[in-house]
Structure 1
Amino acid sequence: MISENLSFITDYFSSSISLAIPLAFAALGGLFAERSGVINIGLEGLLLTGAFVGAASSVLTENLAISILIAVVIGGCVGGVHAYLCVSLNVNQIVSGLAINLAASGLTAYGARLLFNTGTVALPKLPKLEIFGLKSIPVLGVIFQQDILCYLLLILIGLSTYIIFKTHWGLTLRAVGESAVAADATGISVVKVRYICVILSGILASLGGVYLALVHVGFFTEGMSAGKGFIAIAAIIFGRWHPVYTSLACFLFGTTEALQLRIQAFNLDIPYQFLVMLPYLIALFALVGIAGKSTPPAALGKAFNSQHR
Protein backbone atom coordinates (compact mmCIF):
# COMPACT_ATOMS: atom_id res chain seq x y z
CA MET A 1 0.00 0.00 0.00
CA ILE A 2 2.82 2.41 0.90
CA SER A 3 4.65 1.66 -2.34
CA GLU A 4 1.44 2.25 -4.32
CA ASN A 5 0.88 5.57 -2.58
CA LEU A 6 4.49 6.61 -3.22
CA SER A 7 4.13 5.63 -6.87
CA PHE A 8 0.95 7.70 -7.19
CA ILE A 9 2.54 10.73 -5.51
CA THR A 10 5.69 10.38 -7.63
CA ASP A 11 3.69 10.20 -10.86
CA TYR A 12 1.56 13.15 -9.78
CA PHE A 13 4.63 15.22 -8.88
CA SER A 14 6.32 14.35 -12.17
CA SER A 15 3.19 15.27 -14.13
CA SER A 16 2.91 18.56 -12.24
CA ILE A 17 6.48 19.48 -13.16
CA SER A 18 5.91 18.62 -16.84
CA LEU A 19 2.75 20.73 -16.96
CA ALA A 20 4.39 23.66 -15.15
CA ILE A 21 7.51 23.93 -17.33
CA PRO A 22 5.90 25.39 -20.50
CA LEU A 23 3.97 27.80 -18.29
CA ALA A 24 7.17 28.86 -16.53
CA PHE A 25 9.07 29.48 -19.78
CA ALA A 26 6.22 31.60 -21.14
CA ALA A 27 5.75 33.43 -17.83
CA LEU A 28 9.45 34.18 -17.53
CA GLY A 29 9.41 35.66 -21.02
CA GLY A 30 6.30 37.68 -20.31
CA LEU A 31 7.85 38.91 -17.07
CA PHE A 32 10.81 40.48 -18.89
CA ALA A 33 8.49 42.20 -21.37
CA GLU A 34 6.22 43.55 -18.64
CA ARG A 35 9.13 44.65 -16.48
CA SER A 36 10.12 46.87 -19.40
CA GLY A 37 6.58 48.24 -19.69
CA VAL A 38 5.26 46.17 -22.61
CA ILE A 39 2.27 43.88 -22.20
CA ASN A 40 2.71 40.63 -24.11
CA ILE A 41 -0.72 39.06 -24.54
CA GLY A 42 0.86 37.14 -27.43
CA LEU A 43 2.40 34.49 -25.14
CA GLU A 44 -0.28 32.04 -26.27
CA GLY A 45 0.68 32.52 -29.92
CA LEU A 46 4.39 32.33 -29.09
CA LEU A 47 3.89 29.00 -27.31
CA LEU A 48 2.03 27.68 -30.32
CA THR A 49 4.69 29.02 -32.69
CA GLY A 50 7.49 27.39 -30.70
CA ALA A 51 5.62 24.08 -30.62
CA PHE A 52 4.94 24.06 -34.36
CA VAL A 53 8.38 25.24 -35.47
CA GLY A 54 10.07 22.81 -33.07
CA ALA A 55 7.90 19.96 -34.36
CA ALA A 56 8.33 20.84 -38.04
CA SER A 57 12.08 21.34 -37.67
CA SER A 58 12.53 18.03 -35.87
CA VAL A 59 10.76 16.23 -38.71
CA LEU A 60 12.67 18.04 -41.46
CA THR A 61 16.16 18.11 -39.89
CA GLU A 62 15.93 15.03 -37.64
CA ASN A 63 18.17 16.94 -35.24
CA LEU A 64 16.68 18.05 -31.91
CA ALA A 65 19.38 20.64 -31.15
CA ILE A 66 18.89 22.36 -34.51
CA SER A 67 15.11 22.16 -34.06
CA ILE A 68 15.30 23.98 -30.74
CA LEU A 69 17.63 26.60 -32.21
CA ILE A 70 15.31 27.26 -35.16
CA ALA A 71 12.29 27.52 -32.84
CA VAL A 72 14.15 30.00 -30.63
CA VAL A 73 15.12 32.15 -33.61
CA ILE A 74 11.59 32.19 -35.00
CA GLY A 75 10.19 32.94 -31.55
CA GLY A 76 12.61 35.85 -31.24
CA CYS A 77 11.51 37.13 -34.64
CA VAL A 78 7.83 37.02 -33.66
CA GLY A 79 8.77 38.84 -30.45
CA GLY A 80 10.58 41.38 -32.63
CA VAL A 81 7.38 41.94 -34.63
CA HIS A 82 5.50 42.60 -31.41
CA ALA A 83 8.25 44.99 -30.30
CA TYR A 84 8.17 46.84 -33.62
CA LEU A 85 4.41 47.27 -33.47
CA CYS A 86 4.29 48.32 -29.82
CA VAL A 87 7.56 50.21 -29.35
CA SER A 88 8.23 51.74 -32.74
CA LEU A 89 4.70 52.22 -34.06
CA ASN A 90 2.99 52.64 -30.68
CA VAL A 91 0.24 50.20 -31.65
CA ASN A 92 -2.01 49.21 -28.77
CA GLN A 93 -0.10 46.45 -26.99
CA ILE A 94 -3.11 44.26 -26.29
CA VAL A 95 -4.32 44.48 -29.89
CA SER A 96 -0.85 43.57 -31.15
CA GLY A 97 -0.68 40.56 -28.82
CA LEU A 98 -4.12 39.34 -29.84
CA ALA A 99 -3.14 39.69 -33.52
CA ILE A 100 -0.10 37.49 -32.87
CA ASN A 101 -2.31 34.89 -31.15
CA LEU A 102 -4.79 34.80 -34.03
CA ALA A 103 -2.08 34.70 -36.69
CA ALA A 104 -0.18 31.94 -34.89
CA SER A 105 -3.33 29.87 -34.44
CA GLY A 106 -4.23 30.07 -38.11
CA LEU A 107 -0.75 29.71 -39.58
CA THR A 108 0.28 26.76 -37.40
CA ALA A 109 -2.98 24.95 -38.15
CA TYR A 110 -2.48 25.50 -41.88
CA GLY A 111 1.20 24.56 -41.65
CA ALA A 112 0.43 21.36 -39.73
CA ARG A 113 -2.07 20.23 -42.34
CA LEU A 114 0.29 21.16 -45.15
CA LEU A 115 3.39 19.55 -43.66
CA PHE A 116 1.95 16.59 -41.80
CA ASN A 117 -1.19 16.01 -43.93
CA THR A 118 -3.11 15.78 -40.66
CA GLY A 119 -3.23 17.93 -37.55
CA THR A 120 -0.92 15.64 -35.56
CA VAL A 121 2.39 13.86 -36.01
CA ALA A 122 4.53 11.78 -33.66
CA LEU A 123 7.86 13.41 -32.80
CA PRO A 124 11.17 12.30 -31.31
CA LYS A 125 11.33 13.22 -27.64
CA LEU A 126 14.18 14.89 -25.83
CA PRO A 127 15.95 12.29 -23.66
CA LYS A 128 15.88 12.60 -19.87
CA LEU A 129 19.11 13.18 -17.99
CA GLU A 130 19.99 11.62 -14.65
CA ILE A 131 22.00 13.64 -12.13
CA PHE A 132 24.31 11.69 -9.85
CA GLY A 133 22.00 8.67 -9.86
CA LEU A 134 19.58 10.43 -7.48
CA LYS A 135 16.43 9.20 -9.20
CA SER A 136 16.01 6.51 -6.51
CA ILE A 137 15.00 9.16 -3.93
CA PRO A 138 11.26 8.72 -3.23
CA VAL A 139 9.07 11.37 -4.88
CA LEU A 140 11.79 14.04 -5.09
CA GLY A 141 13.90 11.76 -7.28
CA VAL A 142 11.86 12.84 -10.32
CA ILE A 143 13.57 16.25 -10.10
CA PHE A 144 16.90 14.60 -10.89
CA GLN A 145 15.75 12.77 -14.03
CA GLN A 146 14.45 15.54 -16.24
CA ASP A 147 15.36 16.68 -19.75
CA ILE A 148 17.83 19.45 -20.52
CA LEU A 149 15.11 22.10 -20.96
CA CYS A 150 13.95 21.58 -17.37
CA TYR A 151 17.46 22.16 -16.04
CA LEU A 152 17.83 25.13 -18.38
CA LEU A 153 14.66 26.61 -16.90
CA LEU A 154 16.00 26.28 -13.35
CA ILE A 155 19.18 28.07 -14.40
CA LEU A 156 17.19 30.81 -16.14
CA ILE A 157 15.01 31.39 -13.07
CA GLY A 158 18.06 31.97 -10.88
CA LEU A 159 19.86 33.98 -13.55
CA SER A 160 16.81 36.16 -14.21
CA THR A 161 16.39 36.91 -10.51
CA TYR A 162 20.04 37.92 -10.23
CA ILE A 163 19.97 40.05 -13.39
CA ILE A 164 16.75 41.89 -12.54
CA PHE A 165 17.54 42.66 -8.91
CA LYS A 166 21.34 42.60 -8.60
CA THR A 167 22.79 44.10 -11.78
CA HIS A 168 23.00 47.55 -13.34
CA TRP A 169 21.12 46.36 -16.41
CA GLY A 170 18.35 45.01 -14.17
CA LEU A 171 18.11 48.41 -12.50
CA THR A 172 17.87 49.99 -15.95
CA LEU A 173 15.14 47.54 -16.91
CA ARG A 174 13.11 48.29 -13.79
CA ALA A 175 13.59 52.03 -14.30
CA VAL A 176 12.19 51.80 -17.82
CA GLY A 177 9.23 49.80 -16.54
CA GLU A 178 8.46 52.29 -13.79
CA SER A 179 8.89 55.52 -15.75
CA ALA A 180 10.04 55.51 -19.35
CA VAL A 181 10.13 59.31 -19.46
CA ALA A 182 12.38 59.58 -16.38
CA ALA A 183 14.63 56.78 -17.67
CA ASP A 184 14.94 58.52 -21.04
CA ALA A 185 15.84 61.79 -19.29
CA THR A 186 18.83 60.04 -17.65
CA GLY A 187 20.12 58.88 -21.04
CA ILE A 188 18.71 55.35 -21.04
CA SER A 189 17.55 54.09 -24.43
CA VAL A 190 13.99 53.06 -23.62
CA VAL A 191 13.43 51.72 -27.13
CA LYS A 192 16.52 49.52 -26.97
CA VAL A 193 15.65 48.08 -23.56
CA ARG A 194 12.09 47.32 -24.60
CA TYR A 195 13.16 45.71 -27.87
CA ILE A 196 15.62 43.46 -26.04
CA CYS A 197 13.04 42.42 -23.45
CA VAL A 198 10.20 41.74 -25.89
CA ILE A 199 12.47 39.73 -28.20
CA LEU A 200 13.71 37.81 -25.16
CA SER A 201 10.08 37.25 -24.26
CA GLY A 202 9.52 35.62 -27.65
CA ILE A 203 12.60 33.42 -27.25
CA LEU A 204 11.64 32.14 -23.81
CA ALA A 205 7.99 31.56 -24.69
CA SER A 206 8.99 29.62 -27.80
CA LEU A 207 11.14 27.36 -25.59
CA GLY A 208 7.97 26.62 -23.65
CA GLY A 209 6.32 25.62 -26.91
CA VAL A 210 9.26 23.39 -27.83
CA TYR A 211 8.97 21.66 -24.46
CA LEU A 212 5.25 21.20 -24.99
CA ALA A 213 5.74 19.49 -28.36
CA LEU A 214 9.03 17.61 -27.94
CA VAL A 215 8.89 16.63 -24.27
CA HIS A 216 5.50 16.82 -22.63
CA VAL A 217 3.20 15.67 -25.44
CA GLY A 218 5.52 14.17 -28.05
CA PHE A 219 3.48 15.32 -31.04
CA PHE A 220 2.06 18.50 -32.53
CA THR A 221 -1.63 19.16 -32.81
CA GLU A 222 -3.61 22.25 -33.69
CA GLY A 223 -4.20 24.61 -30.78
CA MET A 224 -2.15 22.48 -28.40
CA SER A 225 -1.21 25.49 -26.25
CA ALA A 226 -4.83 25.39 -25.01
CA GLY A 227 -4.79 28.67 -23.09
CA LYS A 228 -1.46 28.12 -21.35
CA GLY A 229 -0.21 31.52 -22.50
CA PHE A 230 -3.04 33.23 -20.64
CA ILE A 231 -2.42 31.17 -17.51
CA ALA A 232 1.23 32.26 -17.76
CA ILE A 233 0.07 35.89 -17.71
CA ALA A 234 -1.98 35.13 -14.59
CA ALA A 235 1.13 33.53 -13.03
CA ILE A 236 3.13 36.71 -13.67
CA ILE A 237 0.56 38.79 -11.83
CA PHE A 238 0.16 36.21 -9.06
CA GLY A 239 3.95 36.04 -8.73
CA ARG A 240 4.17 39.85 -8.52
CA TRP A 241 6.60 40.14 -11.44
CA HIS A 242 9.30 38.19 -9.58
CA PRO A 243 10.95 35.22 -11.41
CA VAL A 244 10.93 32.86 -8.41
CA TYR A 245 7.40 33.63 -7.22
CA THR A 246 6.11 33.54 -10.80
CA SER A 247 7.67 30.11 -11.34
CA LEU A 248 6.12 28.84 -8.10
CA ALA A 249 2.75 30.14 -9.33
CA CYS A 250 3.28 28.17 -12.55
CA PHE A 251 3.95 25.05 -10.47
CA LEU A 252 0.72 25.69 -8.55
CA PHE A 253 -1.23 25.85 -11.80
CA GLY A 254 0.66 22.77 -13.05
CA THR A 255 -0.38 20.77 -9.97
CA THR A 256 -3.97 21.87 -10.50
CA GLU A 257 -3.97 20.68 -14.11
CA ALA A 258 -2.33 17.41 -13.09
CA LEU A 259 -5.03 16.99 -10.44
CA GLN A 260 -7.87 17.39 -12.91
CA LEU A 261 -6.26 14.79 -15.18
CA ARG A 262 -5.99 12.37 -12.24
CA ILE A 263 -9.62 12.98 -11.26
CA GLN A 264 -10.74 12.23 -14.82
CA ALA A 265 -8.86 8.91 -14.64
CA PHE A 266 -10.97 7.82 -11.66
CA ASN A 267 -14.14 7.99 -13.79
CA LEU A 268 -16.06 9.89 -11.14
CA ASP A 269 -19.52 11.18 -11.92
CA ILE A 270 -18.24 14.68 -12.61
CA PRO A 271 -18.66 16.35 -16.02
CA TYR A 272 -15.24 16.43 -17.64
CA GLN A 273 -15.93 19.96 -18.87
CA PHE A 274 -15.90 21.14 -15.25
CA LEU A 275 -12.59 19.37 -14.62
CA VAL A 276 -11.04 20.97 -17.71
CA MET A 277 -12.13 24.34 -16.30
CA LEU A 278 -10.35 23.71 -12.99
CA PRO A 279 -6.91 25.22 -13.82
CA TYR A 280 -8.53 28.34 -15.23
CA LEU A 281 -10.83 28.68 -12.22
CA ILE A 282 -7.84 28.41 -9.89
CA ALA A 283 -6.06 31.10 -11.93
CA LEU A 284 -9.14 33.31 -11.70
CA PHE A 285 -9.49 32.80 -7.94
CA ALA A 286 -5.79 33.49 -7.46
CA LEU A 287 -6.10 36.80 -9.29
CA VAL A 288 -9.20 37.74 -7.30
CA GLY A 289 -7.37 36.86 -4.09
CA ILE A 290 -4.51 39.26 -4.78
CA ALA A 291 -6.66 42.06 -6.16
CA GLY A 292 -5.18 45.33 -4.98
CA LYS A 293 -2.14 43.59 -3.47
CA SER A 294 -0.04 43.10 -6.60
CA THR A 295 1.33 46.31 -8.09
CA PRO A 296 2.48 46.16 -11.73
CA PRO A 297 5.30 48.29 -13.17
CA ALA A 298 3.95 51.85 -13.34
CA ALA A 299 4.66 52.26 -17.07
CA LEU A 300 3.14 48.91 -18.07
CA GLY A 301 1.07 49.27 -21.23
CA LYS A 302 1.96 52.92 -21.74
CA ALA A 303 3.37 53.91 -25.12
CA PHE A 304 6.58 55.96 -25.17
CA ASN A 305 7.69 58.41 -27.81
CA SER A 306 11.14 59.93 -27.25
CA GLN A 307 10.23 62.84 -29.52
CA HIS A 308 7.53 63.98 -27.12
CA ARG A 309 9.03 63.95 -23.65
Structure 2
Amino acid sequence: MAYLLPALLVFSLFTYYPLARVIYLSFTDSDMLKSSPSFIGLHNYQQMVGSREFWSSLWITALFALGVTILEVVLGMALAFLMSARTRLQGLLRGAVFTPVVVSIAATAVVWHYLLNPASGPVNRLLEAIGLPGPGWLSDPRTALASVILVAVWKGVGLPAVLFLSGLQAISRELEEAAAIDGATRAQIARHVTVPLLAPTTMVVFFISLVGTFQSYGLVLLLTQGGPAGSTNLLGYHIYQNAFSFFQMGFASALSVALFLLLMLLGFLHLRVAERRVHYQ
Protein backbone atom coordinates (compact mmCIF):
# COMPACT_ATOMS: atom_id res chain seq x y z
CA MET A 1 0.00 0.00 0.00
CA ALA A 2 2.86 2.35 0.80
CA TYR A 3 4.19 1.96 -2.74
CA LEU A 4 0.83 3.02 -4.16
CA LEU A 5 0.50 6.09 -1.94
CA PRO A 6 2.52 8.51 -4.13
CA ALA A 7 0.55 7.52 -7.24
CA LEU A 8 -2.75 7.85 -5.34
CA LEU A 9 -1.76 11.28 -4.08
CA VAL A 10 -0.88 12.48 -7.58
CA PHE A 11 -4.09 10.99 -8.99
CA SER A 12 -6.17 12.63 -6.26
CA LEU A 13 -4.41 15.97 -6.76
CA PHE A 14 -5.10 16.10 -10.49
CA THR A 15 -8.46 14.27 -10.60
CA TYR A 16 -10.49 14.32 -7.41
CA TYR A 17 -9.51 17.79 -6.20
CA PRO A 18 -10.38 19.54 -9.51
CA LEU A 19 -13.69 17.65 -9.62
CA ALA A 20 -14.53 18.66 -6.06
CA ARG A 21 -13.46 22.24 -6.80
CA VAL A 22 -15.70 22.46 -9.87
CA ILE A 23 -18.66 21.09 -7.93
CA TYR A 24 -18.07 23.65 -5.18
CA LEU A 25 -17.73 26.55 -7.65
CA SER A 26 -21.00 25.54 -9.33
CA PHE A 27 -22.79 26.66 -6.15
CA THR A 28 -21.06 30.06 -6.07
CA ASP A 29 -21.01 33.31 -8.05
CA SER A 30 -17.32 32.94 -8.91
CA ASP A 31 -16.27 35.14 -11.83
CA MET A 32 -12.45 34.64 -11.73
CA LEU A 33 -12.07 38.14 -10.26
CA LYS A 34 -13.43 37.54 -6.76
CA SER A 35 -10.94 36.18 -4.28
CA SER A 36 -13.78 34.76 -2.13
CA PRO A 37 -16.87 33.87 -4.19
CA SER A 38 -20.24 33.86 -2.41
CA PHE A 39 -22.43 30.78 -2.02
CA ILE A 40 -25.63 31.15 -4.08
CA GLY A 41 -27.10 27.66 -3.86
CA LEU A 42 -28.79 26.29 -6.98
CA HIS A 43 -28.96 29.62 -8.80
CA ASN A 44 -26.47 28.57 -11.50
CA TYR A 45 -28.36 25.35 -12.14
CA GLN A 46 -31.66 27.21 -12.33
CA GLN A 47 -30.09 29.65 -14.79
CA MET A 48 -28.75 26.73 -16.82
CA VAL A 49 -32.10 24.93 -17.02
CA GLY A 50 -33.83 28.14 -18.05
CA SER A 51 -31.22 29.04 -20.67
CA ARG A 52 -32.20 28.50 -24.30
CA GLU A 53 -28.53 28.66 -25.26
CA PHE A 54 -27.77 25.68 -23.00
CA TRP A 55 -30.49 23.50 -24.52
CA SER A 56 -29.48 24.60 -28.01
CA SER A 57 -25.83 23.72 -27.37
CA LEU A 58 -26.86 20.38 -25.87
CA TRP A 59 -28.93 19.55 -28.97
CA ILE A 60 -26.12 20.61 -31.31
CA THR A 61 -23.65 18.55 -29.27
CA ALA A 62 -25.91 15.50 -29.53
CA LEU A 63 -26.12 15.87 -33.31
CA PHE A 64 -22.36 16.38 -33.54
CA ALA A 65 -21.62 13.40 -31.28
CA LEU A 66 -23.94 11.03 -33.12
CA GLY A 67 -22.69 12.15 -36.52
CA VAL A 68 -19.02 11.77 -35.62
CA THR A 69 -19.53 8.51 -33.73
CA ILE A 70 -21.54 6.77 -36.44
CA LEU A 71 -19.12 7.83 -39.17
CA GLU A 72 -16.08 6.81 -37.13
CA VAL A 73 -17.55 3.39 -36.39
CA VAL A 74 -18.55 2.72 -40.01
CA LEU A 75 -15.46 4.20 -41.65
CA GLY A 76 -13.15 2.82 -38.96
CA MET A 77 -14.41 -0.71 -39.59
CA ALA A 78 -14.16 -0.29 -43.37
CA LEU A 79 -10.62 1.06 -43.11
CA ALA A 80 -9.68 -1.80 -40.79
CA PHE A 81 -10.76 -4.32 -43.44
CA LEU A 82 -8.64 -2.44 -46.00
CA MET A 83 -5.62 -2.28 -43.68
CA SER A 84 -5.86 -5.99 -42.92
CA ALA A 85 -5.53 -6.90 -46.62
CA ARG A 86 -2.05 -8.15 -47.50
CA THR A 87 -0.84 -5.74 -50.17
CA ARG A 88 2.38 -3.90 -50.95
CA LEU A 89 0.76 -0.65 -49.83
CA GLN A 90 -0.40 -2.03 -46.48
CA GLY A 91 2.16 -0.10 -44.42
CA LEU A 92 1.58 3.12 -46.36
CA LEU A 93 -2.18 2.82 -45.92
CA ARG A 94 -1.89 2.25 -42.18
CA GLY A 95 0.39 5.25 -41.80
CA ALA A 96 -1.91 7.47 -43.88
CA VAL A 97 -4.97 6.46 -41.85
CA PHE A 98 -3.37 7.06 -38.45
CA THR A 99 -1.35 10.21 -39.25
CA PRO A 100 -4.24 12.68 -38.73
CA VAL A 101 -4.67 11.38 -35.17
CA VAL A 102 -1.23 12.69 -34.15
CA VAL A 103 -1.60 15.99 -36.03
CA SER A 104 -2.33 18.86 -33.64
CA ILE A 105 -5.76 20.43 -33.59
CA ALA A 106 -4.24 23.79 -34.49
CA ALA A 107 -2.56 22.39 -37.60
CA THR A 108 -5.76 20.56 -38.54
CA ALA A 109 -7.75 23.79 -38.28
CA VAL A 110 -5.26 25.71 -40.42
CA VAL A 111 -5.27 23.06 -43.16
CA TRP A 112 -9.05 22.74 -43.28
CA HIS A 113 -9.58 26.50 -43.15
CA TYR A 114 -7.55 26.66 -46.34
CA LEU A 115 -9.24 23.67 -47.99
CA LEU A 116 -12.78 24.88 -47.19
CA ASN A 117 -12.22 28.55 -47.94
CA PRO A 118 -15.35 29.52 -49.95
CA ALA A 119 -13.48 32.00 -52.16
CA SER A 120 -10.15 30.32 -52.92
CA GLY A 121 -10.21 26.88 -51.29
CA PRO A 122 -9.31 23.82 -53.40
CA VAL A 123 -12.59 22.10 -52.53
CA ASN A 124 -14.77 24.85 -53.98
CA ARG A 125 -12.46 25.28 -56.95
CA LEU A 126 -12.89 21.60 -57.74
CA LEU A 127 -16.66 21.88 -57.44
CA GLU A 128 -16.72 24.92 -59.70
CA ALA A 129 -14.59 23.07 -62.26
CA ILE A 130 -17.28 20.40 -62.61
CA GLY A 131 -20.09 22.95 -62.69
CA LEU A 132 -21.31 22.76 -59.08
CA PRO A 133 -21.73 25.74 -56.74
CA GLY A 134 -19.30 25.85 -53.84
CA PRO A 135 -21.02 26.43 -50.48
CA GLY A 136 -19.65 28.48 -47.62
CA TRP A 137 -18.63 25.40 -45.68
CA LEU A 138 -17.79 27.03 -42.35
CA SER A 139 -19.62 30.33 -42.83
CA ASP A 140 -23.08 29.00 -43.71
CA PRO A 141 -25.32 27.84 -40.81
CA ARG A 142 -26.69 25.08 -43.08
CA THR A 143 -23.29 23.48 -43.67
CA ALA A 144 -21.08 24.58 -40.76
CA LEU A 145 -21.95 21.73 -38.37
CA ALA A 146 -21.62 19.09 -41.10
CA SER A 147 -18.26 20.58 -42.08
CA VAL A 148 -16.96 20.42 -38.49
CA ILE A 149 -18.22 16.83 -38.23
CA LEU A 150 -16.29 15.84 -41.36
CA VAL A 151 -13.11 17.52 -40.09
CA ALA A 152 -13.49 15.77 -36.72
CA VAL A 153 -13.96 12.40 -38.45
CA TRP A 154 -10.93 12.99 -40.69
CA LYS A 155 -8.80 13.69 -37.62
CA GLY A 156 -10.16 10.98 -35.35
CA VAL A 157 -11.08 7.98 -37.51
CA GLY A 158 -7.55 6.58 -37.36
CA LEU A 159 -7.91 5.41 -33.76
CA PRO A 160 -11.15 3.45 -34.35
CA ALA A 161 -9.55 1.95 -37.46
CA VAL A 162 -6.56 0.72 -35.44
CA LEU A 163 -8.84 -0.68 -32.72
CA PHE A 164 -10.93 -2.50 -35.31
CA LEU A 165 -7.76 -3.81 -36.94
CA SER A 166 -6.67 -5.20 -33.58
CA GLY A 167 -10.10 -6.82 -33.23
CA LEU A 168 -9.84 -8.37 -36.69
CA GLN A 169 -6.44 -9.83 -35.90
CA ALA A 170 -7.83 -11.42 -32.73
CA ILE A 171 -10.55 -13.31 -34.62
CA SER A 172 -9.72 -16.97 -35.21
CA ARG A 173 -9.22 -17.69 -38.91
CA GLU A 174 -10.67 -21.17 -38.37
CA LEU A 175 -14.17 -19.69 -38.13
CA GLU A 176 -13.83 -17.85 -41.42
CA GLU A 177 -12.27 -20.88 -43.10
CA ALA A 178 -15.13 -23.08 -41.88
CA ALA A 179 -17.66 -20.62 -43.31
CA ALA A 180 -15.75 -20.57 -46.62
CA ILE A 181 -15.80 -24.39 -46.78
CA ASP A 182 -19.58 -24.26 -46.30
CA GLY A 183 -19.80 -22.11 -49.43
CA ALA A 184 -20.08 -18.62 -47.92
CA THR A 185 -18.78 -15.74 -50.02
CA ARG A 186 -16.40 -13.12 -48.64
CA ALA A 187 -19.27 -10.68 -48.21
CA GLN A 188 -21.32 -13.27 -46.33
CA ILE A 189 -18.36 -14.17 -44.12
CA ALA A 190 -17.82 -10.51 -43.28
CA ARG A 191 -21.51 -9.92 -42.55
CA HIS A 192 -22.37 -13.06 -40.61
CA VAL A 193 -19.04 -14.02 -39.01
CA THR A 194 -16.51 -11.20 -38.82
CA VAL A 195 -18.72 -8.21 -38.01
CA PRO A 196 -20.67 -10.02 -35.21
CA LEU A 197 -17.36 -11.12 -33.67
CA LEU A 198 -16.25 -7.48 -33.70
CA ALA A 199 -19.14 -6.53 -31.40
CA PRO A 200 -16.94 -6.01 -28.30
CA THR A 201 -14.58 -3.77 -30.27
CA THR A 202 -17.53 -1.92 -31.79
CA MET A 203 -18.95 -1.15 -28.34
CA VAL A 204 -15.58 0.14 -27.12
CA VAL A 205 -15.10 2.31 -30.22
CA PHE A 206 -18.66 3.64 -30.00
CA PHE A 207 -18.28 4.62 -26.35
CA ILE A 208 -14.81 6.19 -26.74
CA SER A 209 -15.93 8.19 -29.76
CA LEU A 210 -19.21 9.29 -28.19
CA VAL A 211 -17.62 10.44 -24.93
CA GLY A 212 -14.77 12.16 -26.77
CA THR A 213 -17.09 14.12 -29.04
CA PHE A 214 -19.28 15.28 -26.16
CA GLN A 215 -16.17 16.91 -24.70
CA SER A 216 -15.00 18.48 -27.97
CA TYR A 217 -14.42 22.20 -28.28
CA GLY A 218 -10.97 22.67 -29.82
CA LEU A 219 -12.00 22.35 -33.46
CA VAL A 220 -15.01 24.60 -32.94
CA LEU A 221 -12.84 27.18 -31.17
CA LEU A 222 -10.38 27.31 -34.07
CA LEU A 223 -12.75 26.77 -37.01
CA THR A 224 -16.03 28.57 -36.26
CA GLN A 225 -16.01 30.02 -32.70
CA GLY A 226 -19.46 28.52 -32.23
CA GLY A 227 -20.92 30.25 -35.28
CA PRO A 228 -22.32 31.06 -37.65
CA ALA A 229 -25.51 32.00 -35.76
CA GLY A 230 -24.65 29.49 -33.02
CA SER A 231 -24.93 26.51 -35.38
CA THR A 232 -21.73 24.91 -34.04
CA ASN A 233 -21.97 26.02 -30.41
CA LEU A 234 -21.06 22.71 -28.79
CA LEU A 235 -21.52 22.29 -25.05
CA GLY A 236 -17.76 22.08 -24.52
CA TYR A 237 -17.28 25.38 -26.33
CA HIS A 238 -20.22 26.88 -24.43
CA ILE A 239 -18.45 25.98 -21.17
CA TYR A 240 -15.16 27.42 -22.42
CA GLN A 241 -16.85 30.63 -23.53
CA ASN A 242 -18.62 31.19 -20.21
CA ALA A 243 -15.47 30.47 -18.22
CA PHE A 244 -12.77 32.29 -20.19
CA SER A 245 -14.65 34.84 -22.31
CA PHE A 246 -17.44 35.92 -19.96
CA PHE A 247 -15.52 34.96 -16.76
CA GLN A 248 -18.64 33.36 -15.28
CA MET A 249 -16.76 30.54 -13.62
CA GLY A 250 -19.63 29.55 -11.35
CA PHE A 251 -22.06 29.13 -14.25
CA ALA A 252 -19.39 27.38 -16.34
CA SER A 253 -18.79 24.99 -13.43
CA ALA A 254 -22.51 24.17 -13.30
CA LEU A 255 -22.40 23.42 -17.04
CA SER A 256 -19.35 21.21 -16.45
CA VAL A 257 -21.14 19.28 -13.71
CA ALA A 258 -24.10 18.78 -16.04
CA LEU A 259 -21.74 17.45 -18.73
CA PHE A 260 -20.07 15.16 -16.18
CA LEU A 261 -23.42 13.71 -15.11
CA LEU A 262 -24.41 13.24 -18.75
CA LEU A 263 -21.19 11.31 -19.45
CA MET A 264 -21.78 9.21 -16.34
CA LEU A 265 -25.25 8.37 -17.67
CA LEU A 266 -23.81 7.43 -21.07
CA GLY A 267 -21.26 5.20 -19.35
CA PHE A 268 -23.98 3.46 -17.34
CA LEU A 269 -26.11 2.90 -20.45
CA HIS A 270 -23.07 1.59 -22.31
CA LEU A 271 -22.39 -1.00 -19.60
CA ARG A 272 -26.01 -2.12 -19.53
CA VAL A 273 -26.15 -2.53 -23.30
CA ALA A 274 -22.79 -4.31 -23.36
CA GLU A 275 -23.94 -6.77 -20.69
CA ARG A 276 -27.07 -7.70 -22.65
CA ARG A 277 -25.97 -7.49 -26.28
CA VAL A 278 -22.25 -8.23 -26.44
CA HIS A 279 -20.68 -11.65 -26.04
CA TYR A 280 -16.93 -11.94 -25.62
CA GLN A 281 -16.52 -15.36 -27.21
Answer yes or no: same fold by TM over 0.5.
no
TM-score relative to the length of structure 2? 0.32
Higher radius of gyration, 1 or 2: 2
* Higher RCO, 1 vs 2 (CA within 8 Å, ≥6 residues apart): 1
TM-score relative to the length of structure 1? 0.30
